[in-house]
Chains A and B, each alone.
Chain A
Amino acid sequence: MDMIPSSLSPQAVEDKPLDIVGLLSRVHHPGAGAVVLFSGEVRDSNRGRPVAFLEYEAHIPLATAMIAEILATAKAKWALQVAVAQHRVGKVPVGDTAVVVITASAHRSEAYAANKYIIDRIKHEAPIWKCEHYTDGTKEWGNNCNCHTVTGDVSKHIYEGSE
Chain B
Amino acid sequence: MKIHVYAGLKDYFQPEFEVRELVRNTDELKAVLLTLNDKAGEILSSCRFAVDEEGFIDSEFKLNGYDTIVIIPPSSGG
Chain B interfacial positions (CB closer than 8 Å to A):
6-8, 11, 45-48, 50, 52, 55-56, 58, 70, 72-78
DSSP majority for the A interface? mixed
B7-A131 in contact (CB<8A): yes
22 contacts between A and B (CB under 8 A): A59-B6, A59-B50, A59-B70, A59-B72, A62-B56, A62-B72, A87-B78, A98-B77, A123-B77, A127-B72, A127-B75, A129-B7, A129-B77, A141-B7, A142-B76, A143-B76, A144-B8, A146-B46, A148-B46, A149-B46, A154-B74, A155-B48
Among candidates A62, A123, A146, A149, residue contacting B78 with C-beta atoms closer than 8 Å: A123
**Chain B neighbourhood of A58, CB < 8 A:** 77
B8-A122 in contact (CB<8A): no
Beyond the given pairs A59-B72, A128-B77, 14 more chain A to chain B contacts, judged by CB atoms under 8 angstroms and listed by A's residue number, are A58-B77, A62-B56, A63-B77, A98-B77, A98-B78, A99-B78, A123-B76, A128-B78, A129-B8, A130-B76, A143-B76, A145-B76, A149-B46, A155-B56
